[in-house]
């Protein structure tokens, strides 16, 4: 860990935020463990509480394990609105960058992230470390360098954030991620981590699963499915996770209509050319909110924008179009550095 650099960033950060400033921490839509734990850590680093520095997201947490994390660790995430965010003295974001939000975000003052692909700078304070496997690693480094006490609750959150974003230290992991993980390990509550890892599934998932399995098709390692109208978008996410387990499946794209939006959840194993985040950005970034990681991503598209772009929002037509779009996008993705190195024997 480069503590001299981190010390300087801490100094800059604390100089930017005045004691009386109200700070809003904005997370990406459907926040994941890396984002939530990093937000908790930033609040600790600034010496704030949930009254002076609340967490916001424009879309709620939906994945079952993430909802369990929110419940067990008592993480409060408020629904964001552009109007309310303008009332805060400072707007910070972790594990995401301003272009993700488009016009919904009035401005950005603090950005801490590990995702590549964004042009900067986008804020007066930025710390974007694309070589790190998780933003939670960056935040753990901040806390360690500042000699801040890491509570059991915060350590559990940060450890789970690193675990989830690096697939238990098996993907895009650096020495810094390992150091952070090692520091947090004895501080975390492992009974709580086990509960987060095994969330309960709603009965409605079984009903959707029963209908969907009757028309399951796999072509060249790709599985595409449109569930139609759903009550909760975590059912779309659960179906995508479930379908990735089938033999021969390398990519999954599951769609469903939730309210006035079309939600598309994408999964793969994150190897070779596979990059789910890049795929959904390329396919849907111009008509909706789209992004994610190499192995998991999501697009949320207003149905009116989908109709304007593609002419119809009929379920069969949506599924047929996804079958057209994804094979083209998957095969045109550039070869990853890891795959190129493996092919060349490096």
Tokens matching residue 97: 């960058």
Tokens matching residue 129: 């470390």
Q: Which of 164, 197, 230 is the last residue of a domain?
A: 197
229 in a domain, yes or no? yes
Lowest mean pLDDT among 81-90, 153-162, 173-182, 263-272: 263-272
In 3D space, the residue among 21, 39, 12, 14 whose CA is nearest the CA of residue 121 turns out to be 12
Residues forming a β-bridge with 110: 92, 125
* Cα(168)–Cα(173) distance, integer angstroms: 9
pLDDT band with cut points at 50, 70 and 90 for residue 294: confident
Yes or no: say if 280 and 262 are a contact pair by the CB < 8 Å rule.
no
In 3D space, the residue among 342, 216, 345, 337 whose CA is nearest the CA of residue 275 turns out to be 337
Same domain as 208, residue 59 = no
Same domain as 117, residue 11 = yes
Domain count, the chain: 2
Phi, psi dihedral angles at 267 (to 5 degrees) = -135, 145
Task: Tell which wins on pLDDT, 336 or 2.
Answer: 2
Quick one: pLDDT at residue 337? 53
What's the domain range around 218?
203-332
339 in a domain, yes or no? no
Same domain as 38, residue 9 = yes
In 3D space, the residue among 132, 131, 110, 130 whose CA is nearest the CA of residue 121 turns out to be 110
Lowest mean pLDDT among 17-26, 184-193, 292-301, 322-331: 292-301
Q: How far apart are the first and last CA of the chain?
A: 26
Quick one: pLDDT at residue 106? 92
Query: pLDDT tens for residues 109-140?
Result: 999 999 987 887 889 999 999 999 999 999 99
Q: Which of 197, 213, 237 is the last residue of a domain?
A: 197
Quick one: pLDDT at residue 203? 79
The yes-or-no verdict on residue 241 having pLDDT over 90 is no
Same domain as 191, residue 98 = yes
Q: Which of 197, 229, 253 is the last residue of a domain?
A: 197
Quick one: pLDDT at residue 322? 96
The yes-or-no verdict on residue 246 having pLDDT over 50 is yes
Lowest mean pLDDT among 32-36, 58-62, 119-123: 119-123
The yes-or-no verdict on residue 186 having pLDDT over 90 is yes
Yes or no: say if 157 and 143 are a contact pair by the CB < 8 Å rule.
no
342 in a domain, yes or no? no
CB atoms inside a 10 Å sphere around CB 1: 16
Write the CATH number for 159. 3.90.1640.10
* Cα(6)–Cα(148) distance, integer angstroms: 14
In 3D space, the residue among 312, 287, 286, 290 whose CA is nearest the CA of residue 299 turns out to be 290
Give the highest mean pLDDT range of 22-36, 107-121, 188-202, 232-246: 22-36
Phi, psi dihedral angles at 300 (to 5 degrees) = -120, 115
170 in a domain, yes or no? yes
The yes-or-no verdict on residue 289 having pLDDT over 50 is yes
In 3D space, the residue among 140, 45, 48, 127 whose CA is nearest the CA of residue 88 turns out to be 48
Give the predicted TM-score (pTM) of the model.
0.69
Quick one: pLDDT at residue 75? 97
Across the chain, mean pLDDT equals: 90
CB atoms inside a 10 Å sphere around CB 99: 15
Yes or no: say if 323 and 310 are a contact pair by the CB < 8 Å rule.
no
* Cα(149)–Cα(220) distance, integer angstroms: 50
Burial 274-306 (b: 16+ CB within 10 A, else e): bbbbbbbbbbbbebbbbbbbbbbbbbbbebeeb
Give helix 315-332 / helix 276-284 axis angle, nearest 10°: 120
* Cα(15)–Cα(53) distance, integer angstroms: 17
Same domain as 217, residue 173 = no
């Amino acid at each position: 860990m480069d503590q001299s650099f981190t010390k300087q960033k801490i100094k800059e950060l604390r100089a930017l935020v005045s004691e009386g400033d109200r700070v809003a921490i904005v997370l990406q839509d459907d926040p994941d463990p890396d984002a939530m734990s990093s937000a908790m850590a930033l609040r600790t680093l600034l010496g704030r509480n949930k009254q002076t520095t609340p967490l916001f997201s424009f879309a709620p947490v939906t994945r079952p394990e993430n909802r369990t994390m929110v419940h067990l660790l008592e993480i409060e995430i408020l629904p964001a609105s552009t109007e309310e965010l303008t009332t805060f003295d400072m707007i910070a974001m972790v594990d995401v960058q301003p272009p993700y939000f488009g016009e919904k975000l009035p401005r950005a003052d603090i950005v801490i992230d590990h995702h590549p692909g964004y042009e900067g700078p986008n804020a007066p304070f930025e710390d974007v470390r694309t070589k790190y496997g998780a933003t939670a690693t960056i935040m753990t480094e901040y806390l360690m360098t500042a000699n801040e006490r890491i509570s059991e609750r915060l350590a559990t959150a940060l450890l789970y954030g690193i675990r989830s974003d690096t697939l238990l230290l098996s993907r895009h992991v650096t020495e810094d991620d390992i150091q952070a993980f090692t520091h947090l390990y004895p501080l975390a509550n492992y009974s709580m981590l086990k509960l987060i890892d095994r969330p309960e599934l709603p009965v409605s998932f079984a009903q959707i699963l029963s209908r969907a399995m009757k028309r399951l098709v796999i072509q060249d390692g790709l599985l595409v499915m449109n569930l139609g109208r759903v009550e909760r978008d975590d059912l779309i996410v659960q179906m995508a996770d479930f379908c990735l387990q089938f033999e021969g499946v390398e990519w999954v794209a599951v769609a469903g209509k939730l309210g006035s939006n079309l939600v598309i959840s994408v999964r793969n194993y994150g190897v070779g050319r596979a990059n789910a985040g890049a795929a959904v950005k390329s396919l849907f970034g111009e008509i909706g909110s789209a992004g994610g990681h190499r192995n998991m991503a999501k697009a949320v598209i207003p149905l009116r924008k989908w109709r304007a772009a593609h002419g119809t929002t009929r379920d069969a037509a949506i599924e047929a179009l996804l079958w057209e779009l994804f094979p083209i996008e998957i095969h045109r993705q550039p070869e990853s550095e890891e795959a190129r190195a493996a092919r060349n024997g490096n």
